[in-house]
Structure 1
Amino acid sequence: MSFEESWPTAIDNRTNSVRRSDSSGFDQQTGIYHSLLQLGDDFQIPTRHDLDTSKYVLSQFPHPDHAESRVALIDSATNHQVTYAQLQRSIRAVASGLYHGLGVRKGDVVFVLSPNSILYPIICLAIFSIGAILSPANPINTQSEIAKQILDSGAKLVIAAPEELHKVATNGVPTLLTTRMSSDYSLSIEELIECSDTLEFPQVQITQSDIAAILYSSGTTGISKGVILTHSNFIAIMILLKWSVYASSAQNDVFLCFIPMFHIYGLAFFGLGLFCSGITTILMQRFDLQAMLDSIQAHKVNNLPAVPPVILGLVKHASKLRCDLSSLRRVGSGAAPLSKELTEEFRERFPWVELRQGYGLTESCGAATFFVSDEQAKAHPGSCGRLIPTFSAKVADIATGLALPPCREGEIWIKSPTVMKGYLKNEEATAATLASDGWLKTGDLGYFDEDGFLYILDRIKELIKHNGYQVAPAELEAILLNHPQVLDAAVIPLEDEEAGQIPMAYVVRAAGSELSEEQIIQYVAHQVAPYKKVRKVAFISAIPKSAAGKILRKELVSHSQLQKISKM
């Protein structure tokens, strides 16, 4: 059966993958929430032990008869195209070059510092195929931050974009460039692709239990930690991503990628997952709102996996958009909470576009919950969907640890084959996050409703303790963002002698706005209980955020402390 013929068969089979149930999936005897969805026969997780991530992904490529013509990636800036056949040849060439030419062996850590490019997934899959361990980093990190990650991960080789070379040149680790450079640094991934196709492809014994990657968490509330993910974690997430794509997309859909591939969202979805479905992806090196809109129009993009700041940008700048977005059918949101208010405003501005929120962590390979239909998403605004197949969950009372039933708030715990092995060289953090029976304590405050839909309220560590009450910053931020003169906002705890902590807001005003601190305080006060009121406001040009769109509150807390000291 051909690749094109197999697609509708898979779609037809998926209709039996949803259990018809009006319940929440909650088991009163065990206190566990079970997924109301299940994988069909076409999407079972492979049990064979001698399987690695690269081997699995390559096995899902289109049949050779179609691989030469089916486009896998298109560079949005240059329009350079790579077919699935070219992609496969490049992966094998780079793997051979790394193994035979540079001596990279199973278990060696390869540190990757580069923005998105067509070469990025080639590098990742080549590393996986020889049993080496991928450790990617954010190119905007400072030289000292990068040095810490290289040292902590024990990297044996660095692969860097030429413009990032100065950040790794003094670390004493051999460096390979992504693209050619006119200086003495002549060896590059591009040259490996050209010169290594005559080398024998290395045959390395890799198992699903072997370590595949070490991804460093964003560290929004503390020190960044190395998350250990195995090949079995990645293979499980590939199956789930393939299932979700078949459940909600067409085989000829076009996706746009600006999510950075050093982040689990970008790596799992664009660096690996979409290749398992034969999808074409338009690749942006870095995010730019106008460039994103131009790419959607030029390439007739249907699907836009995004993050809340991008959705906020679309909503706030909708009246100024200079593009035809009629091809866009679906926008996904992940990596950070998307408020009910912003969701509703997006639907009002773009009524023809489906908006679905999902939930996951680096520690769970980026997955946990998902909406299988736009009807469900519209019926449950503010939710991030139901548990996807293979996942189960608990809601643990913060004080007692006891499992809670639907509509009761607590810490979300999850369990799945995608859950990490642990944190690198950090037994204390691993023990605090992973229970002995495999439950991952997410640190997120939330609840399941009576239909099994998950609502994330905030990070537990970020809750503001005001006079014994707990205030969720995300709730106040959603209210602030609904103000027509507020472009962006973040709420942090400010130490207070009487109340312990008070909510303080950092606000980005719209151009020309003269919105005052008192006006903002009153705007929020009219919509919340007295203990939740914003007590102080500071205006700022931009809210600091991670590459995945998470607010870097610790930077704002430090800023507020410095401001307080300067006034003393």
Structure 2
Amino acid sequence: MATATLVEHYSKDQVEDDDHWSCFCPKSGIFRSPHRLASRHHPPSDPDLDAASFILSLLPSAHSPRPAFLDSVTGRCVTFSDLHRSVLSLASTLRLALDLRPGDVVLLLSPNSVIYPAIVLAVLASGAVLSPASPLCTPSEIARQARDSGAVLAIATPEEAHKLVSAGVPTLLTHRSPEDRDGPPSVEEMMECSDPLAAPPPARGKSDVAAVLYSSGTTGAPKGVVLTHGNLIAMVSLLRWSAEVSGAEDDVYLAFIPMYHVYGLAFFALGLPSLGATTVVMSRFDLEAAMEAVARHGVTNIPAVPPVVVAMAKSSKRWDLSGLRRVGTGAAALGAEAARRFRRRYPWAELREGYGLTESGGAATFAVVASRRAEGRGVGQLLPGFEARVVAPATGKEEGPGGVGELWLRGPTVMREYLGDEAATAAELVGGEWLRTGDLVYFDEEGFLFIVDRIKEHIKHNGYQVWRANLMGSIVRETAVADLRNQLQVTPSELEALLLTHPHILDAAVVPLEDEEAGQVPMAYLVRSTESQLTSEEVIQFVASQVAPHKKIRRVAFISSIPRSPAGKILRKELIANANQAVLPKL
């Protein structure tokens, strides 16, 4: 698939007058973004432009003392001057001392840190391909990613390096551990010592591979998502546009979203440095520490995920968040009640929802204006350069506004392919360009996107398909619901969204539990507040009083936390495996 530019996606029939621009073309069945990218945000058209060169050209002066990254605990500061030097120095060392060649893959295994963005940019500047990995992965999972991606070098923290032993990949440590004073130079030392002018960077262009990210694997094995330099350049351009139109250019950001995930990578390692923004970095998320960091460091903008928004809204603790201006949420579902509760608790802070996935480079829609309407406005409108189709699963028919179907996306950040998997690529990229998201959605007449459900996640109970419909901060219009009922026989289950309306339930996940009589029954995994004595029977009665009989929760388990991906998506396969293996008493 040739990577399209932000400008190429505008249709020739788009008129100049925004007042006459329609988001949907009945003839083609395509929804288009109502937003345009101003010329100042258009990246250079040079096909030989690489992502690192583009981002470095946007940074503040190489001599700027402005803080780029601050450690939330230690206060360690990386200025933009430090960032320039570190990127160029490490890139030179990777090329010259370690003989890293264009296209070689470097696996990065580290939690968030103030030097993580410099490592990312240095790998790209060296001409290598970045493959970030989660520290939550096991040694066998890390070995699989190293093998699948073809990594020739790894960079890891001393605490995580042991996971790479079985992978057999040469490994650099990000920094020296206190007991290791005589080992080889660390990455931090390489950032300080090498000559950044020793050799020019190898030529890489927009069509070349820049990164291989692994999907969360919530329902299957993770696959390598191939993103090009053109994809990354488009991601940065869109983030710069969104910051400007939402008035967030001068914000101070809090980074607890993992930078190895596409959400964190796009925001913190690539996009925010290009804005000249200051980012306060947390190595791991802790609600109380995060809220204290907001007050201590003057944080005004928190890119978050739904569980964090829910926790902020439901916490009994009080923090001084008067300086907070914006909270963004995406990557997973946020229920309407959770959004309303957050807005009641923090009326001065804008709550903005967006939508994207790893395969779309983390981008697709964005709420340009924070809605104050009770039902919200879904997850925003398509970003500039994006197009969408809504395809009815049963018929393959393209739906117009209000019609429910699978979301197909085309845009400048959509992946090139799944690494080494032609069959999966062909199945997910229709015609080599339309990404099938697997999400059931609809658009309203103004081009706002509403997520209804995941197509593959349903519970079959006595012949009914009990679909798990968390409405992501929206109320589906009655006609859309009626159409969906006709299509699926039954439309249950706002079960998770319903459970989260209970004042003592902090988090919830609903999965199918195998049952001899019914085939499958809904089971709920719940996190209850610490002071709560909520019982399983009370939960079952709470749901039963508000849903049809076939949607009732039949089993309940209380756990300390819901397993989620870094983006906040529920890891259902873990819960399903546990549910069907455990011996649970009937309730």
Alignment TM class, shorter chain as reference: over 0.9
Measured in 2, the distance between the counterparts of 1:17 and 1:139 equals 48
Aligned to 2:291: 293
Q: Deviations over 1:72-103 (max 9, x none)?
A: 11111111212212211110000001111111
Structure 2 CA distance for partners of 1:188 and 1:507, relative to 1, 3 Å: same
Moved more, 499-508 or 441-450: 499-508
Measured in 1, the distance between the counterparts of 2:27 and 2:129 equals 41
Measured in 1, the distance between the counterparts of 2:72 and 2:532 equals 35
In the alignment of these two chains, the number of paired residues is 546
Q: Give the 5 Å matches for 1:302-381.
A: 302-317=300-315, 319-321=316-318, 323-375=319-371, 378=373, 380-381=375-376
Unaligned runs of 5+ in 1: 1-15
Structure 2 CA distance for partners of 1:472 and 1:136, relative to 1, 3 Å: same
Aligned to 1:486: 505
Aligned to 1:559: 578
Task: Confirm or deny: 8 A CA contact 1:18 1:38 kept in the other structure.
Answer: no
Aligned with 1:163: secondary structure?
A: coil
Measured in 1, the distance between the counterparts of 2:112 and 2:541 equals 43
Q: Give the 5 Å matches for 1:497-512.
A: 497-512=516-531
1:496 maps to which of 493, 506, 515: 515
2:104 maps to which of 108, 113, 120: 108
1:51 maps to which of 49, 71, 77: 49
1:265 maps to which of 259, 263, 266: 263
Measured in 1, the distance between the counterparts of 2:287 and 2:156 equals 26
Measured in 2, the distance between the counterparts of 1:83 and 1:62 equals 10
Measured in 2, the distance between the counterparts of 1:18 and 1:425 equals 44
Q: Give the 5 Å matches for 1:103-142.
A: 103-142=99-138
Measured in 1, the distance between the counterparts of 2:466 and 2:448 equals 23
Q: Deviations over 1:232-280 (max 9, x none)?
A: 0000111100000111134432111111100000000100001111111
Task: Confirm or deny: 8 A CA contact 1:98 1:104 kept in the other structure.
Answer: yes
Is 2:513 the counterpart of 1:518? no
Higher helix share: 1
Paired residue type of 1:488: D
Measured in 2, the distance between the counterparts of 1:225 and 1:86 equals 35
Aligned to 1:548: 567
Task: Confirm or deny: 8 A CA contact 1:17 1:39 kept in the other structure.
Answer: no
Aligned to 1:463: 458
Measured in 2, the distance between the counterparts of 1:283 and 1:494 equals 40
Task: Confirm or deny: 8 A CA contact 2:155 2:174 kept in the other structure.
Answer: yes
Is 2:383 the counterpart of 1:383? no
Task: Confirm or deny: 8 A CA contact 1:18 1:36 kept in the other structure.
Answer: no
Aligned to 1:19: 18
Aligned to 2:429: 434
Aligned with 1:162: secondary structure?
A: coil
Task: Confirm or deny: 8 A CA contact 1:473 1:491 kept in the other structure.
Answer: no
Q: Give the 5 Å matches for 1:416-435.
A: 416-435=411-430
Task: Confirm or deny: 8 A CA contact 1:17 1:37 kept in the other structure.
Answer: no
Task: Give the drift of 1:230.
Answer: 0.3
Measured in 1, the distance between the counterparts of 2:16 and 2:497 equals 35
Task: Give the drift of 1:465.
Answer: 3.0
Paired residue type of 1:235: I
Structure 2 CA distance for partners of 1:395 and 1:471, relative to 1, 3 Å: same
Task: Give the drift of 1:515.
Answer: 2.3
Structure 2 CA distance for partners of 1:80 and 1:373, relative to 1, 3 Å: same
Measured in 1, the distance between the counterparts of 2:246 and 2:367 equals 9
Aligned to 1:175: 171
Task: Give the drift of 1:564.
Answer: 4.2
1:410 maps to which of 396, 405, 412: 405
Moved more, 242-251 or 207-216: 242-251
2:279 maps to which of 264, 271, 281: 281
Measured in 2, the distance between the counterparts of 1:250 and 1:403 equals 36
Task: Confirm or deny: 8 A CA contact 1:89 1:197 kept in the other structure.
Answer: no
1:99 maps to which of 68, 77, 95: 95
2:388 maps to which of 389, 393, 400: 393
Paired residue type of 2:18: R
Structure 2 CA distance for partners of 1:391 and 1:486, relative to 1, 3 Å: same
Measured in 2, the distance between the counterparts of 1:489 and 1:290 equals 21
Task: Confirm or deny: 8 A CA contact 1:93 1:192 kept in the other structure.
Answer: yes
Q: Deviations over 1:360-398 (max 9, x none)?
A: 0111110100011113x6365261111110101011111
Paired residue type of 1:230: T
Moved more, 530-539 or 282-291: 530-539
Aligned with 1:374: secondary structure?
A: coil
Aligned to 1:88: 84
Task: Give the drift of 1:41.
Answer: 1.6
Measured in 1, the distance between the counterparts of 2:53 and 2:548 equals 55
Measured in 2, the distance between the counterparts of 1:27 and 1:532 equals 38
Task: Give the drift of 1:309.
Answer: 1.0
Aligned with 1:378: secondary structure?
A: coil
Measured in 2, the distance between the counterparts of 1:273 and 1:116 equals 16
Task: Give the drift of 1:437.
Answer: 4.6
TM-score between both structures, scaled by the size of structure 2: 0.89
Unaligned runs of 5+ in 2: 1-14, 471-493
Structure 2 CA distance for partners of 1:221 and 1:130, relative to 1, 3 Å: same
Task: Confirm or deny: 8 A CA contact 1:160 1:175 kept in the other structure.
Answer: yes
Aligned with 2:355: secondary structure?
A: coil
Task: Give the drift of 1:501.
Answer: 2.6
RMSD over aligned Cα atoms: 2.0
Structure 2 CA distance for partners of 1:458 and 1:201, relative to 1, 3 Å: farther
Task: Give the drift of 1:131.
Answer: 1.4
Task: Confirm or deny: 8 A CA contact 1:130 1:202 kept in the other structure.
Answer: no
Moved more, 254-263 or 182-191: 182-191
Q: Deviations over 1:423-453 (max 9, x none)?
A: 1111111111111151000011111122211
Task: Give the drift of 1:31.
Answer: 1.0
Aligned to 1:60: 58
Measured in 2, the distance between the counterparts of 1:258 and 1:526 equals 38
Measured in 1, the distance between the counterparts of 2:465 and 2:203 equals 55
Aligned with 1:287: secondary structure?
A: coil
Aligned to 1:254: 252
Measured in 1, the distance between the counterparts of 2:377 and 2:32 equals 21
Paired residue type of 2:416: K
Aligned with 2:18: secondary structure?
A: coil
Structure 2 CA distance for partners of 1:204 and 1:18, relative to 1, 3 Å: farther
Measured in 2, the distance between the counterparts of 1:169 and 1:185 equals 17
Aligned to 2:476: none
Moved more, 227-236 or 161-170: 161-170
Paired residue type of 1:548: A
